[in-house]
Amino acid sequence: IGMLSFMACIVILAVLMMRSEKDALVDNDYYEKGLRYNDQYRQKEQVIKDNASPDIEFSGDNLIITFKTQAAGTLKIMRTAKKSMDKMMNFKTDSAASVMLRSTDLAKGHWKFIIQWKAENGKTYLSEQEVLMP
């Protein structure tokens, strides 16, 4: 009886492991990210050096990202709890050097915004910010 219960427990655990979702913290392209690490580090340092960190604020149902100058780039919005909720989009700032998104499209909770952009001065930047959606 003890042996059968042990074997049943092992089989149940194996089935549960196979049916579970992939871990959101594991990157499939970790090798490529490792090769680009120096460029990303330089871009993050450039944000600090130029004091170019964008401001993220809420205004009603909108989320406004304001840059120091005109910019164009990519915005990756990551939900740390569930990878299927991640979004990626290209953007170009308006005349006020800002980008407006609808905050109702994002669920409440913790999000990570990874913003990579090229400013009008030709420099490239990378900023990672944690955002709590109300």
63 contacts 54 by C-beta, under 8 angstroms? no
Q: How far apart are the first and last CA of the chain?
A: 53
Strands (E), 23-123: 55-59, 62-66, 71-78, 87-92, 98-102, 109-119
Round to whole Å and give the CA distance between 126 and 123: 10
**pLDDT at 26 > cutoff 70:** no
In terms of Cβ atoms closer than 10 Å to its own Cβ (0-12, 13-18, 19+), residue 68 is: middle
- Mean pLDDT score, 63-80: 88
pLDDT at residue number 120: 84
3-state secondary structure (DSSP) of residue 37: helix
Task: Report which of residues 125 and 19 the model is more confident about.
Answer: 125
Q: How confident is the model at residue 25, as a pLDDT?
A: 60
What is the arithmetic mean of pLDDT over 59-79? 88
Share above pLDDT 90 across residues of the chain, in percent, rounded to a whole number: 29
pLDDT value, residue 31 = 79
Tell me which of 6 and 120 has the higher pLDDT: 6
Q: Say whether pLDDT at 22 is over 70.
A: no
